[in-house]
A and B are shown apart, each in its own frame.
Chain A
């Protein structure tokens, strides 16, 4: 775990801290426990992959971190402060690309600059100048240079996810939350996007929390992997991935890598029942 920490003493507080945070939906007999009291710390600049069987509460942790839901008990701190304090700038991407269908790709990607300070302040002034250039530069980096003025329905699933990544990163978030962002893509497109994401991550060094079903995805991208048990979920394994980054995509076929994912696989198979 220690190997995963980035040597930046500027920010003393961890990016994400869950202190016995639990989530229960509903009340009384109909109450459903989505997350049993969980404690988790994540350092700034780290890349953590959360894997586990479906319904184990992976996405719940992500939604806690994004402040979309509040913990039923316990506490969640972002950058040492309450999640509502907006201490950390957050970028998020879901499995569904959720591009707004009435906006072009350029305007979709630009959306966070319209909402998030300090970009919001000068949005009206910069939207046709500096911000537009910023969006185009990022789109070019993920290979969507020529699609800025297209509408979402004119793009393929893989292209939409690239745009989605751009939108999650355009406002230079401190914290990037990814909820199975490549789940609906074919294997080739997925591997391409892993590389794109790795490049963007190493380039910008945000703190990344990735929820995924895909063990190879977790192993290839993350510096740390947490395995969760079946519902009600809790973290049963927490390990570092020490292979140096950037990693070549060929890595996922090496015996060392296969052995690691195999170990994770067995672990999850055990806790599924």
Chain B
């Protein structure tokens, strides 16, 4: 427990130390704020420009979460389909690997071609980029379910759907949530990527515009916001994971029941 707190404190001081170093080095070496603005300058920009930035934050969040939700629905459906059938697994897997190995950046121009610039390609990029890890994890979780656990239900005369619902899916939850943590981060990357290429809204677009206007501290402010959002989304799904699948890790607080 004490060890834990010490590590937290050290980790916090590392973060603070990083920014202090940055600030001090910029002053000592006289770095131009057109190259690398100081953290204090970025903070000021963040504060003063926040009302302007806020709708863009919401836009990026909206594109990320919509794309992510669609990705989860599609990913879970495909994952359940190929995870419950050995034939489907064998047949569909090569195609899925093929799709997943395409760099998703390359898809953005095609999406823009089809749907024009704006929110739609951002949502679709966020969706496409997060589907594969979900599919793989769901399918793996289902395919590796211990036959013993399934036999318990089969001897009771359970239908396939009941076995899936009572054993397969709960057993797969740790895999699912592990993939969600990865997927939400990827979705976020996808949405911002698409915004920088083809949108007039969202943090990605703000950074692009600011960079072409040499508003360097605004570019960094955007980067800060992205970092914070990324961490927040990841933390949220980590929290959810710990709550739902604590049985798989036998977490410390979980043991006190």
Using CB atoms and an 8 Å cutoff, list the residues of chain B in contact with chain A: 146, 148-149, 151-158, 162, 166-167, 170-171, 173, 245, 247-248, 250, 255, 257
CB–CB A92/B170 < 8 A: no
In this complex, what residue of B is CB-closest to A177? B155
What distance in Å separates the Cβ of B146 from its nearest Cβ neighbour in chain A?
Answer: 8
Q: Given contacts A115-B162, A149-B257, A151-B257, is CB(A100)–CB(B167) below 8 Å?
A: yes
CB–CB B247/A101 < 8 A: yes
Q: Which residues of B contact A103 (CB under 8 A)?
A: 170
CB–CB B170/A102 < 8 A: yes
Is A90 at the interface (CB under 8 A from chain B)?
Answer: yes
* Bound CA span A111–B173, Å: 19
In this complex, what residue of A is CB-closest to B163? A115
CB–CB B148/A92 < 8 A: no
* Bound CA span A177–B151, Å: 13
Using CB atoms and an 8 Å cutoff, list the residues of chain A in contact with chain B: 66-68, 86, 90-92, 94, 96, 98, 100-103, 111-112, 114-116, 149-151, 153-154, 167, 171, 177
What are some 15 contacts across the A-B interface (CB < 8 A)?
Answer: A66-B154, A67-B154, A68-B155, A86-B157, A94-B152, A98-B148, A98-B152, A100-B149, A100-B170, A111-B153, A111-B156, A115-B156, A151-B257, A153-B250, A154-B255
Main secondary structure of the interface of A (DSSP, over half): loop
Q: Given contacts A96-B148, A101-B248, is CB(A67)–CB(B155) below 8 Å?
A: yes
Q: Which of A68, A86, A112, A150 contacts B151 (CB 8 A)?
A: A68
* Bound CA span A213–B146, Å: 24
Q: Which residues of B contact A171 (CB under 8 A)?
A: 156
CB–CB A94/B257 < 8 A: no
Q: Given contacts A101-B248, A151-B247, is CB(A115)–CB(B149) below 8 Å?
A: no
Q: Which residues of B contact A67 (CB under 8 A)?
A: 154-155, 157
* Bound CA span A100–B148, Å: 10
In this complex, what residue of B is CB-closest to A62? B155
CB–CB A114/B166 < 8 A: yes
Q: Which residues of B contact A102 (CB under 8 A)?
A: 170-171, 173, 245, 247-248
* Bound CA span A112–B154, Å: 11
In this complex, what residue of B is CB-closest to A152? B247
Q: Which residues of A contact B157 (CB under 8 A)?
A: 67, 86, 90, 115-116
What distance in Å separates the Cβ of A82 from its nearest Cβ neighbour in chain B?
Answer: 13
State the 5 A-B residue pairs at the shortest beta-carbon distance, nearest first: A92-B155, A102-B247, A66-B155, A115-B156, A115-B158
* Bound CA span A101–B166, Å: 12
Q: Which of A90, A111, A150, A154 contacts B166 (CB 8 A)?
A: A111
Q: Which residues of A contact B155 (CB under 8 A)?
A: 66-68, 90-92, 177
* Bound CA span A180–B247, Å: 27
Q: Which residues of A contact B154 (CB under 8 A)?
A: 66-68
Q: A92-B155, A101-B248 are in contact. List 17 more A-B contacts (CB 8 A).
A: A67-B155, A67-B157, A68-B151, A68-B154, A86-B157, A90-B156, A91-B155, A94-B152, A96-B148, A98-B149, A98-B152, A100-B171, A101-B247, A102-B248, A115-B158, A115-B162, A150-B257
In this complex, what residue of A is CB-closest to B158? A115
Q: Which residues of A contact B173 (CB under 8 A)?
A: 102
What distance in Å separates the Cβ of B246 from its nearest Cβ neighbour in chain A?
Answer: 9
Q: Which residues of B contact A154 (CB under 8 A)?
A: 255
* Bound CA span A94–B152, Å: 9
Q: Given contacts A68-B151, A98-B149, A102-B173, is CB(A112)–CB(B156) below 8 Å?
A: yes
* Bound CA span A92–B158, Å: 13
* Bound CA span A102–B245, Å: 8
CB–CB A111/B152 < 8 A: yes
What distance in Å separates the Cβ of B176 from its nearest Cβ neighbour in chain A?
Answer: 13
In this complex, what residue of A is CB-closest to B162? A115
* Bound CA span A177–B155, Å: 10
The residue among A67, A91, A114, A154 with the most chain B CB atoms within 10 A of its own CB is A114
Q: Which residues of A contact B170 (CB under 8 A)?
A: 100, 102-103
CB–CB A94/B151 < 8 A: yes
